Structure 1
């Protein structure tokens, strides 16, 4: 079981590594669902541990639709993230009708050649998640889809996530990364019910369950023990 942890500071990366996390999703603007971190933050996060760091590429939180100006910024950010030493990017875009914006996605994927790519929770607003998953599986660069199975916390959508995971297994080459609302008290039953092989943890490993508080290595370690038992 792979454990990905959200980091918003370099200190979070150190704490996550100390607790036994496997990968970092690096973001800023967490109150807005995650925005692109600064180049300085990416560099600091990469230097903080040996964990792979995947940085969010999201220029604004108004929607998952991007203008030409937005895309120009995103393409520049991908290059900067690469130069800063990150292992990958986290990105997602939809059309006005809730389908994958293939044109925009392909432009970003070209810029991200050689980087690991996660399609983020824009997926949870797709009009048809199974159709969206089949589209994303066509791109070998996309390793996984981060999803809660919808707009509710992931534990409430575990049966649906199992169906998505089974479809991803059938398609091959793409994985379901389950996340949103996970913590030590619910992650065991969630994994058993959903069958996902990767989990994404945010506030659930922080003191008091709040992004305003520190990330605690012991909380990461506790989840790791639960998932290893």
Structure 2
């Protein structure tokens, strides 16, 4: 079971690594759903990163429809936030019709220059999740889809997540992007959720933070308890 933990700061990154997380998703402005982090934060984390860093590339929180100016900013950010510890860029783009914007996606994948990509929860606003997943499956550079199954909380989307997991593993050839479930998972709910859906990757934010608050520091005790559930000895 893969555990990704949101990091907002260098201290978060250290606590996540020490606590046993497999990787971090580095963001700023978590109250807006996560935006591109500051260069200074990335530089400090990169200096002593112990686990892979997946870095958010998102210029604003208004929507997932990006202008040419937005696209230019995202390309510049990917080029500047390029460090050996980067395991993936986290991004997503939709058309006005709420379909994956393949034209812009291809440009962003080219700018990533071989670095893997996670398609973030823009996916949950797609008009048809199975159709969106099929589109993303055509791009080998996209390794992961972060999703709450189209619901505010993934706990209300057991059936959609189960179907997406099935879709990701169908066929005899290589599987599609990994389905990573996130948003609303808790220590109390995660074990049953994993059993019901078959996911092999989960994403935690407030669930491993002090008092369950999204902007609070990571709580090592909560993280340890989560790892004991996900990866029992």
The TM-score range, normalised by the shorter chain, is: over 0.9
Look up the SS of the partner of 2:124 in the other structure. helix
**In 1, Cα distance between equivalents of 2:16 and 2:85:** 18
Task: Quote the RMSD (CA, aligned, Å).
Answer: 1.3
- TM-score in terms of structure 1 length: 0.96
Aligned to 1:71: 71
Aligned to 2:215: 212
Aligned to 1:226: 229
| 5+ long unaligned stretches in structure 2 | none
Aligned to 1:202: 205
CA shift digits 1:77-100 (9 cap, x unpaired)? 010111475222100000011100
CA shift digits 1:92-116 (9 cap, x unpaired)? 0000111000011100000112212
Aligned partners of 1:205 and 1:219 also within 8 Å: yes
Instruction: List, as ranges, runs of 4+ consecutive aligned residues in structure 1 with deviation greater than 3 Å.
Output: none
Task: For residue 228 of structure 1, report the CA deviation from its aligned partner.
Answer: 2.2
**In 2, Cα distance between equivalents of 1:177 and 1:184:** 16
Task: For residue 143 of structure 1, report the CA deviation from its aligned partner.
Answer: 0.3
Question: Would you tell me which structure has more helix in proportion to its own residues?
Answer: 1
Aligned partners of 1:13 and 1:24 also within 8 Å: yes
CA shift digits 1:168-199 (9 cap, x unpaired)? 11161311000001121111111111110000
Aligned partners of 1:54 and 1:116 also within 8 Å: no
| 5+ long unaligned stretches in structure 1 | none
Aligned to 1:101: 101
Farther-moved stretch of structure 1 (76-85 vs 164-173): 76-85
Q: Aligned runs of 1:1-229 on 2, under 5 Å?
A: 1-83=1-83, 85-170=85-170, 172-229=175-232
Q: 1:202 to 1:177 in 2, by over 3 A?
A: same
**In 2, Cα distance between equivalents of 1:69 and 1:84:** 27
- TM-score in terms of structure 2 length: 0.95
* Number of residue pairs the alignment of both structures matches: 229
